[in-house]
Structure 1
């Protein structure tokens, strides 16, 4: 095979050869960030052995950018993130900007790998639903990329972001359930939804309802994990009278687990779910939801990342509680 036809060596190849993470390779090759002398030596030796040519990690600061927007979301099959992506694409199309889409699976290492790939493609701007910490995003910041976070933020990074009003959404749902007489209310949330967890604790405290930490259950961003979390909660705590699901995947898992365990909604357990997805209204019974403007979040994030100056630091969009038949008074 001719050299020109060979696959280009990437930062992931260097990371595997050196036995370190992609973020560590990025720090070493950009010459910034912390890394031990031994680690630096292993990374540089691996890069030399593989004949790695850093198209962006080293040269992106010096050469002309090619433009475009990188979009990183946890799962494009999740209806919420699909609608968010659609909003980004709609705004990018009107601006004549291409979009490169990547899915992280809520895995920080996968996120770091995709950040490195976007740098290699000389992308100028990134919109992301982040799952890694500020250090993971260091190479992008140092390369001068415009970054806007959507739905979530990275602690310690004061960057532009667009998100729904989680606090108001959670508070409204908890107040509604408490008004129906519920006191043993559980929260199912995904890792990365710390704001919703904090809002849940605050809402209970404001209502004078004791916070039972066993009723706050976190799941990874997969359907299997969501189902395990929902089924485990309902089996372990039969005294729960209401569940707030932090996303449509968790709401779906709660409905499925309840059916398997012959738990009736809302007679035995009331259910409120984040995201007004199409199947929520078709479910039996139709689900009460906290509607989030997913498309608008994506569109506004794209507007922010395309605007060079005068960008507000944070845009917060309203949520709405849509009451259907999945909630009833405590029996």
Structure 2
């Protein structure tokens, strides 16, 4: 069946093509004309051409989505939320994986700028300086799950981004440090980590470690605050974004500090590494080590014992971020904070 065109709608409704376009884009029209055009469009199952609309507006349309790892279950949930919202709005999504590598992130931002993608949702891994070219070029950005670390001047930008900034009239990539005015959709890390630490201390644990990764500044701060400033710095260990690094960090921590009795893993990849390292070292959960993992993923409940987790709403984070990036007033920064939940299972026990 031939797809209906805007001309077909105009002829059937007895109005001009310009009137149909104005009605469908939300422009001014009389109530009777609007009602007639919308009824005919529905009857003919008319769907505006996104390509044609975007070419007229001199934009590519759609949005970009940058996540650290497409194989990570949590980021898969977040991406599904973005895709669901974008699908409902008729927006295509360009998906990229940064590998939690700031250089790769900067390259992908540059690629999206070159392609004139004008909306971007990102789980950032680099500093604030990596995002200033996109913002100066007029891209609408929303951060999800994390916000970029504050930095000093916009030094060490890749040449491609610097060139794009200069072409856009943004000037050299040097400016005083200042916070990025970018909306974000975040889980309530402070409440989640605080609840987990209080649960562990309530079980009698005093030597509690934190295993973190890129972008975990807020979670580490919450961990230290929950312990009331009594944190042993050796018990806060960081890995990069790879599984090998996570395993090395977990194994090194458990071997160097046999006195620790509990561990908070800041993400599901880190939790997986902690479980594997504990097994390699013949440490029993929860007999020798209590473990709380950030993220509730399907395999957590299938572990032996099932893992106690801080659950965050991954799909909702993505959906809300997509809603925000599609809003016309997104340039007025707004942070959305979604609740977390401690789900108690079998990986934690009283200190022995």
TM-score grouping bracket, smaller chain normalisation: 0.7 to 0.9
In the alignment, structure 1 residue 192 sits paired with structure 2 residue 188: no
Instruction: Compute the displacement of 1:312 (Å).
Output: 5.6
In the alignment, structure 1 residue 229 sits paired with structure 2 residue 249: yes
Instruction: Compute the displacement of 1:65 (Å).
Output: 1.1
Which residue among 126, 137, 144 is the counterpart of 1:150? 144
Secondary structure at 2:129 match in 1 = coil
Root mean square deviation, CA, Å: 1.1
2:9 is aligned to none
Which residue among 180, 203, 217 is the counterpart of 2:203? 180
1:203 is aligned to 226
* Contact 2:147 2:215 (8 Å CA) reproduced: no
**2: CA distance, partners of 1:319 / 1:136:** 29
Q: Deviations over 1:5-41 (max 9, x none)?
A: xxxxxxxxxxxxxxxxxxxxxxxxxxxxxxxxxxxxx
Which residue among 83, 101, 104 is the counterpart of 1:89? 83
In the alignment, structure 1 residue 327 sits paired with structure 2 residue 348: yes
Which residue among 66, 77, 100 is the counterpart of 2:94? 100
Q: Mind listing any 5+ residue stretches in structure 1 that lack a counterpart?
A: 1-62
TM-score, length of structure 2 as denominator length: 0.74
Secondary structure at 1:135 match in 2 = helix
2:114 is aligned to 120
In the alignment, structure 1 residue 130 sits paired with structure 2 residue 151: no
Matches within 5 A, 1:1-331: 64-154=58-148, 155=150, 156-205=179-228, 210-309=230-329, 313-331=334-352
Instruction: Compute the displacement of 1:323 (Å).
Output: 0.2
**2: CA distance, partners of 1:273 / 1:287:** 7
**Which structure: larger Rg?**
2
**2: CA distance, partners of 1:97 / 1:125:** 10
Secondary structure at 1:116 match in 2 = helix
**1: CA distance, partners of 2:127 / 2:138:** 18
Runs of 4+ in structure 1 deviating by more than 2 angstroms, as ranges, are none
Instruction: Compute the displacement of 1:158 (Å).
Output: 2.6
